[in-house]
């Protein structure tokens, strides 16, 4: 089979490698489509939890092609030809965090597509516990299951009070889904600020109340625009940019008793300035949300019901061999929203 293989950060090629055989309890999936994620770019640059050599790709939809021995029992009913997706994140179950009921903080968290082989390949072998039925849903929707599951976890962490006035900064594909979850979760008003007009326009169609065009590279001007929109502050501000210059603005944009959430994947070892006295005096709450391990079922339910819209998000489709173009498009094509690879 063909697969995109990274021998080390930045050193990739599309190779012909043996098609993997499913062992007992495993399922082989023929990959239909894999979503390109910011994480893939971090893996390209070697700035994430990657283990090389690596086949990246963790946002996948495919068709079961072969069942390993003993896959089906009284709880599991998979069949060849079934459309599925896979949750690539799984915890060891043995470390202190796992034993404390916090699998996301597992010291040996496996993420297929980050530190184990993923879905930029024609086939992928996955333990059955990670496979989710996705029959009857458009594959172009199913490919969003993983990023949507991450936002579902974000909602679980945020627990917004019904009626909250919320600002979300950033309008990438994940933000587009997070904004809709906030609306369905009872937000009083959702404002999204971002630097691409076409992304904001799409969010208006998805039901966002207010959109603000900002220039992320000019944080002073951005602060002015956001403050002018709500001189008394928001109840909740979510940073989905990961940019330190934007993260630094967040506590100054919330009301007394407000909450800031850092959701965007930022740069490691890039501390920001924070006015601790302001956090103390105004009793602010700061939260973080990183990945997910058990939010797939909820995400699939919302995609199946049409509760979460993704129409208009996929702007570019590539073949495996076009990986360099994927990287170029992600870096510099201003019309790019969600990119997908069809192996
Ligand atoms: Zn992702
Ligand atoms: Zn663990």
Q: Which two tokens stand for residue 331?
A: 């870096």
Mean pLDDT, contiguous 10-residue spans, the chain (343 residues): 97 97 97 96 88 96 97 94 96 95 92 96 97 97 97 96 98 96 97 97 98 94 98 98 94 98 86 95 96 92 96 98 97 96 97
Q: Give the other-Cβ count within 10 Å of 316's Cβ.
A: 18
What is the domain range of residue 52?
2-144+313-341
Q: Are residues 16 and 75 in the same domain?
A: yes
CA of 97 to the centre of ligand 2 (A): 6
300 burial class (0-12, 13-18, 19+ CB within 10 angstroms)?
Answer: buried
CA of 109 to the centre of ligand 2 (A): 6
* Ligand sitting nearest the alpha carbon of 56: 1
Q: Are residues 271 and 242 in the same domain?
A: yes
* Ligand sitting nearest the alpha carbon of 99: 2
* Ligand sitting nearest the alpha carbon of 109: 2
* Ligand sitting nearest the alpha carbon of 339: 1
In a domain, 293, yes or no: no
In a domain, 36, yes or no: yes
In a domain, 303, yes or no: no
* Ligand sitting nearest the alpha carbon of 87: 1
* Ligand sitting nearest the alpha carbon of 96: 2
pLDDT for residue 8: 96
Q: Are residues 115 and 83 in the same domain?
A: yes
CA of 59 to the centre of ligand 1 (A): 6
Peptide bond into 322 cis (omega under 30): no
Q: Are residues 331 and 258 in the same domain?
A: no
- DSSP conformation class of 186: T
CA of 98 to the centre of ligand 2 (A): 4
In a domain, 205, yes or no: yes
Q: Are residues 95 and 213 in the same domain?
A: no
CATH of the domain at 201: 3.40.50.720
pTM of the model: 0.95
Q: Are residues 245 and 163 in the same domain?
A: yes
Q: How many domains does the chain have?
A: 2
Q: Are residues 14 and 118 in the same domain?
A: yes
pLDDT for residue 269: 83
CA of 57 to the centre of ligand 1 (A): 8
């Amino acid at each position: 089979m063909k697969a995109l293989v990274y021998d080390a950060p930045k050193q990739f090629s599309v190779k012909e490698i043996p098609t993997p055989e499913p062992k007992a309890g495993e399922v082989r999936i023929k990959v239909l489509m894999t979503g390109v994620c910011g994480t893939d770019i971090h893996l390209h640059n070697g700035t994430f939890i990657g283990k090389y050599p690596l086949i990246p790709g963790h946002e996948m939809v495919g068709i079961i092609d072969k069942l390993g021995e003993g896959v089906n029992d009284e709880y599991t009913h998979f069949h060849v030809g079934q459309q599925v997706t896979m949750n690539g994140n799984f915890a060891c179950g043995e470390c202190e965090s796992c034993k404390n009921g916090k699998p996301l903080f597992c010291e040996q968290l496996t993420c297929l597509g980050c530190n184990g082989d993923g879905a930029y390949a024609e086939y992928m072998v996955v333990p059955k516990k990670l496979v989710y039925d996705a029959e009857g849903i458009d594959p172009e929707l199913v490919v969003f299951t993983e990023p949507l599951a991450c936002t579902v976890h974000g909602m679980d962490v945020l627990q917004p009070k019904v009626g909250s006035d919320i600002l979300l900064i950033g309008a990438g594909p994940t933000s587009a889904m997070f904004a809709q979850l906030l609306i369905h979760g009872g937000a009083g008003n959702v404002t999204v600020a971002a630097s691409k007009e076409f992304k904001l326009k799409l969010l208006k169609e998805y039901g966002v109340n207010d959109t603000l065009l900002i220039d992320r590279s000019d944080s002073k001007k951005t602060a002015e625009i956001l403050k002018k929109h709500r001189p008394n502050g928001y109840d909740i501000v979510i940073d989905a940019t990961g940019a330190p210059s934007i993260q630094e603005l967040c506590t100054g944009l919330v009301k007394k008793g407000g909450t800031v959430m850092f959701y965007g994947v930022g740069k490691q070892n890039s501390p920001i300035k924070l006015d601790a006295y302001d956090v103390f005096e105004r009793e602010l709450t700061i939260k973080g949300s990183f990945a997910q391990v058990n939010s797939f079922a909820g995400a699939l339910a919302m995609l199946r019901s049409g509760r979460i819209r993704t129409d208009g998000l996929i702007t570019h489709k590539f073949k495996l061999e076009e990986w360099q173009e994927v990287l170029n498009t992600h870096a510099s094509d201003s019309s790019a929203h969600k990119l997908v690879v069809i192996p």
